[in-house]
Amino acid sequence: MKKNIAKAKIKKGIPSIGTWVSSGNPLVCETLASTGVDWINIECEHSSIDLGDLVHCFRAVEHTEIPVFVRVAGSDPLIIKRVVDSGALGVVVPDVKNAEEAKRAVDACRYPPVGTRGIGATRPNAIYPDYMKHANEEICVVIIIEDIEAVNKIDSIMEVPGVDVIFIGPNDLAATLGVPLGMDNQHPKHVAAVNKVLEAGKKHGIPTGIHCGTPEEIERRISQGFLWMPIASDVALMKSAFTTSIKKITDSSSMSEVISDGKFY
């Protein structure tokens, strides 16, 4: 089956950079797969993307080496089952607060005897004759920490066998801490919580990640020891690029001259 290059890199201690896809558009996924990112993650928790959209996104990058992760709506095995059976190479599980929820998510992604995933992944089995043999090792389970309750239980969560990545959701974490929201949050309480997760990851040998807004933040997070990081999202980067471009045009001297002279055509 298709190799999960992102999982392979972080297992070797090499940082892996990807991005969130909130649009659910196959052309966006196909385009992103040629940009140099290691992976893309389809946002199915906070979007209207359904399984039909998801399968088209998988198909759009099937010819590349880029693995597709999916942020699901929760740790419910019934939710996870349909995503992995559709072809996801990574499952990103939100708001995990304790070891029991982490184990439930891991079990849903692994075939017996390691986990409890049911047999019957029609699409992946049709594409990859060896899917059943390698699925357990290639599918990456990412557990999102976005509540101070989870931070306080981080050691027990990281002790769950099969957790591949511990990922920090900075805004939800900020909300539970009662501090202002924002990427690259420098509030002392937020910094302390992030550092606690990072140090636990180093102690337990579990790669950690955090959502970043800029290349500069990613560079700094890498120097701190983070390994799995998305930069913004397709929608955020598109908005930022267009906002910057339009501002340059409207602030240009030629535009100012046209406006001041009243030369409208």
Cis ω on the peptide bond leading into residue 113 (within 30° of 0)? yes
| Known catalytic residue at 46 | yes
* 195 secondary structure, DSSP code: H
d(CA 262, CA 265): 9
CB-based contact 140:6 (threshold 8 Å)? yes
d(CA 6, CA 90): 9
∠ CA 74-224-169, rounded to 5°: 20
Which residues, including other chains, have CB under 8 Å from residue 116's CB and lie 6 or more apart?
Answer: 77, 107, 108, 110
CB-based contact 182:174 (threshold 8 Å)? yes
From the list 46, 134, 187, 204, the catalytic residue is: 46
Our measurement of the distance from residue 151's CA atom to the centroid of its chain's CA atoms, rounded to an integer in Å, reads 19
d(CA 43, CA 135): 22
Active site residues: 46
